[in-house]
């Protein structure tokens, strides 16, 4: 029965898009061919009355998604991180999608907390307020611990939200299969992959233990960052459907006048928010993937306080080094080096012309560097860079798309605090410091020592590997010789690497 039910759900979705005017915008964003447009609109138009009207004061696509409910709002937010799929213009609209819904009753929230933590709310909290914020997946209450009197923020999932998401994701997957099967032109967008990515994001957000873990890891990584705070997780008051963090008073980062009135230096905060983001991405490889004003506050001491850890980005060490070299190459306007880095990383196929690629990169960088400082945008640079690399055969890398999207959001926060800030001047010391630490002699020594350690760990297994090679060898020549030679080479290489690592570390 899921097929017919999903068809009805999709029909209502299409009717809502048609009624709100979102259908045309979405079809333009996906560059749908004319025959497909005619078929879709012809199928949906007679059932337009089934659609929800939505809030006419919002743009068409956010209006439709908000009217359709939590799963659609979250899907829109996820697509906002994928301008490679929906295009820059629609991604910009989706970023302003208001993730605000009417709160559910406090009595239900209290029941959810009691069920999850196996104790009545009165036994856990001396105070438990009405909702102070409500979003598509959960809402937040201000509370006071009964044992210590400390104030905390208690995040509670909406009742039945898991079932609602499973139902809607099933409909999304059904639609993606239909597109993949009957509309070959959409296969370049990989609709099934997009739904799988969305499902993985939502699955993480529907288990608040994972978000608590993300907040805890982020707090550990940033504990020594001056001017930055992450509220501590109260594990004893957290579970799958409930997360409790320390309550931190502060001014929303969007309220610039209030921040200035409190005596804080908005120029300093502007540089700080950008530099902290780059430091987290490059130094730790783990960054806040939704760092907009609504998830940032400024406390009484002038610290930036981050919230909402449902979307976090992770980049491996090798990719971080490549990203840093690309950024510093643009900062120094060394376009040939930027091109070479792309080829060395395998991002661009080796059969392409590195000099033609460097020339294309110059066309990206020079117009931006010719702008007034207040208009220079690293996010715009990354967007143009991905356009060029795609033309030269680079495959889309999801982690870099999230990084680019977050960079645009962080720039927006920084510009709000200080419209005259020079993005490149703020970024340069962080990027150069990372390159010095990760690509210099000390980093080379660390890499050698790490390689030696890995070889040393596997060296006891080398005789076994040699015997296995001997047994499996089907050649008439003795197989023990290459096996033992391989073992000897591994052990010699490990010893040499270890010695060289120690020597370099001693010198530097």
The token pair at 447 is 């890499």
Q: How far apart are CA 51 and CA 19, in angstroms?
A: 6
DSSP 231: P
Quick one: angle between helices 208-221 and 191-205, nearest 10?
80
The token pair at 417 is 């605090």
DSSP secondary structure letters along 340-384: HHHHHTTSS-TTS-HHHHHHHHHHHHHHHHTS-GGG--HHHHHHH
The token pair at 137 is 């997946």
Q: How far apart are CA 303 and CA 228, in angstroms?
A: 5
Q: Is 290 a catalytic residue?
A: yes
- Selected catalytic residue, list 290, 351, 425, 437: 290
| Max intra-chain CA distance, the chain | 85
Q: How far apart are CA 332 and CA 389, in angstroms?
A: 20
Quick one: angle between helices 191-205 and 70-80, nearest 10?
110
Q: According to the 3-state scheme, what is the secondary structure of 129-191?
A: EEEEEECCCEEEEEEEECCCCCEEEEEEECCCHHHHHHHHHHHHHHHHHHHHHHCHHHHHHCH
CA 221 vs CA 89, 230, 270, 279, 295: distances in Å: 34, 10, 21, 10, 18
138-145 and 242-246 as β-strands: parallel, antiparallel, unpaired? Answer: unpaired
* Spatial contact of 438 and 320, defined as CB atoms under 8 Å apart: yes
Q: Which residues are known to be catalytic?
A: 290
């Amino acid at each position: 029965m899921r097929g017919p039910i999903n068809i009805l759900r999709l029909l209502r979705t299409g009717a809502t898009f048609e009624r709100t005017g979102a259908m045309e915008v979405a079809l333009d964003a996906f560059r749908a061919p004319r025959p497909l447009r005619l078929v879709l609109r012809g199928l949906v138009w007679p059932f337009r009355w089934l659609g929800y009207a939505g809030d006419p004061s919002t743009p068409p696509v956010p209006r439709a998604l908000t009217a359709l409910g939590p799963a659609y709002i979250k899907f829109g937010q996820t697509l906002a991180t994928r301008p490679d799929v929906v295009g820059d213009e629609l991604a910009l609209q989706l970023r302003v999608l208001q993730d605000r819904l009417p709160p559910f009753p406090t009595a239900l929230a209290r029941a959810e907390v009691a069920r999850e933590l196996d104790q009545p709310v009165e036994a856990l909290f001396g105070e438990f307020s009405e909702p102070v914020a409500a979003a598509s997946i959960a809402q937040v209450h201000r509370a006071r611990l009964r044992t210590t009197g400390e104030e905390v923020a208690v995040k509670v999932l909406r009742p039945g939200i898991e079932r609602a998401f499973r139902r809607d994701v099933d409909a999304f997957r059904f639609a993606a299969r239909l597109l993949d099967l009957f509309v070959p032109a959409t296969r370049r967008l990989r609709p099934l992959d997009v739904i799988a990515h969305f499902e993985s994001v939502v699955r993480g957000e529907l288990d608040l233990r994972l978000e608590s873990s993300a907040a805890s890891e982020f707090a550990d990584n940033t504990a020594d960052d001056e001017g930055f705070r992450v509220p501590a997780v109260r594990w004893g008051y957290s579970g799958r459907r409930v997360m409790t963090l320390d309550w931190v008073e502060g001014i929303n980062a969007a309220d610039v006048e209030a921040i200035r009135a409190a005596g804080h230096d908005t120029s300093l905060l502007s540089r700080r928010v950008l530099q902290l983001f780059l430091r987290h991405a490059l130094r730790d490889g783990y960054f806040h993937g939704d760092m907009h004003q609504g998830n940032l506050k400024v406390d009484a001491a002038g610290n930036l306080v981050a919230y909402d850890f449902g979307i976090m980005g992770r980049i491996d060490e090798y990719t971080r080094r490549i990203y840093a070299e690309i950024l510093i190459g643009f900062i120094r306007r060394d376009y040939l080096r930027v091109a070479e880095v792309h080829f060395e990383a395998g991002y661009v196929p080796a059969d392409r012309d590195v000099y033609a690629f460097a020339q294309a990169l110059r066309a990206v960088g020079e117009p931006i560097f010719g702008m007034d400082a207040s208009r220079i945008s690293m996010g715009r640079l990354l967007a143009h860079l991905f356009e060029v690399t795609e033309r030269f055969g680079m495959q889309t890398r999801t982690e870099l798309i999230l990084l680019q999207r977050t960079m645009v959001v962080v720039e927006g926060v920084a510009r709000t605090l200080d419209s005259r800030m020079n993005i490149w001047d703020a970024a340069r010391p962080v990027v150069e410091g990372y390159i010095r630490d990760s690509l210099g002699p000390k980093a080379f020594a660390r890499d050698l020592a790490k390689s030696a350690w890995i070889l040393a760990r596997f060296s006891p297994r080398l005789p076994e590997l040699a015997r296995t090679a001997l047994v499996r060898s089907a050649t008439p020549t003795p197989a023990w010789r290459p096996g033992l030679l391989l073992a000897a080479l591994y052990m010699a290489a490990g010893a040499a690497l270890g010695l060289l690592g120690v020597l370099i570390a001693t010198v530097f």
